[in-house]
Amino acid sequence: MPCLFLVLTENSDENLEVELKIHEVLREDTLHFLECPRFDDSGSLFFGDVMANGFYRFSYSSGLESLDPSSRSVGGSVVHADGGMIYSGREGLKHYHPVTGQIQVLSLEIDGEPLVSINDIEADHHGNLYGGTLDFAALERGEKPGFGFLFRIDVEGNAIRIRDVGISNGIAFASDGGSMYFSESGEGVFRYAINNEGNLVDRNLVIDIGDSDGVVLDESETIWVARYMGSTVERYSKNGELISVLETPFENVASLVFGGDDNRELFIVGGAIEASGSGGIVKVNCEVAGLKSHKARIPI
């Protein structure tokens, strides 16, 4: 199916509209609003359904597989160094091992309280796991959510609270590991410097938009952002200048991940927040390859 790719120029009268081919990867009536796509080493694509619940795996050879249908509000997934997948949601962090099929809840605490209600997660180049908590219950009631917080779990298994945040969403690390991009919905996309202790410092607003969700970086260090209140993915320079806008077939776009043999295929997930049976995955070819994500090395 064709999609519209708007390439912005310095002169707005000369902006280019380029028609790209967008490929439908998966569309199922049982899926609602997909989140947190992530490829493992075998090329299987894992993702969650944040509205209809469940954690899934998809491959062209095996099709769609439901791995954990009862898992609620799955919002993040990261490959673990042992070959399994860590994923996050209402129950906190879970680990799925593809060989045994075993699912394990990771029992972690911060300040004496269980670490639960986790949205997006991401590993840095050391294998530490960063993530953010989210007031899911308030969102379900249609109320303004209370504050959540960013946290880090180091490779020794220590869970550290970093700072309070509002609506926690996508996380991505720069190629040198010295900074982290964080999508705080309602505020925008921020860039933090990372000090020697792994703490986040020097918070700077890079992209000032109200509905940022998932974020990924490509090898040119440009930032791709899913906008969950609409149908677009936007590409920005590292200084926050809008470069291009990609129109998708979804009413609402949640997240994205690079994949394919050369990491030049951008896989986009979403659906319609207000309509079940509309969840799916599409992909589009990109000129620049995406940065490869890191594996978590936290204790299981």
Residues 147-176 have pLDDT tens digits of 999 999 999 999 999 999 999 999 999 999
Q: What value does the mean pLDDT of the chain take? A: 93
Which pLDDT belongs to residue 6? 54
What CA–CA distance (Å, rounded) separates 93 from 159?
Answer: 12
Confidence (pLDDT) at 15? 56
Instruction: List, for the chain, all residue ranges whose pLDDT scores fall below the cut of 50.
Output: 4, 9-13
CA distance 167 to 169: 6
Residue at 290 is within a domain: no
SS3 at position 263: coil
Report the C-alpha gap between 14 and 16 in whole angstroms.
6
pTM here?
A: 0.94
- Evaluate whether residue 154 is within a structural domain: yes
Report yes or no: 155 and 123 within 8 Å, Cβ to Cβ: no
- Report which of 36, 43, 58, 23 is spatially closest to residue 283, judged by C-alpha positions: 23
Is residue 112 in some structural domain? Answer: yes
In a domain, 20, yes or no: yes
Residue 270's domain spans which residues?
2-285
- How many domains does the chain divide into? 1
- CATH number, position 55: 2.120.10.30
| Residue 180 falls inside a structural domain | yes
Position 37 in a domain: yes
Give domain status of residue 292, yes or no.
no
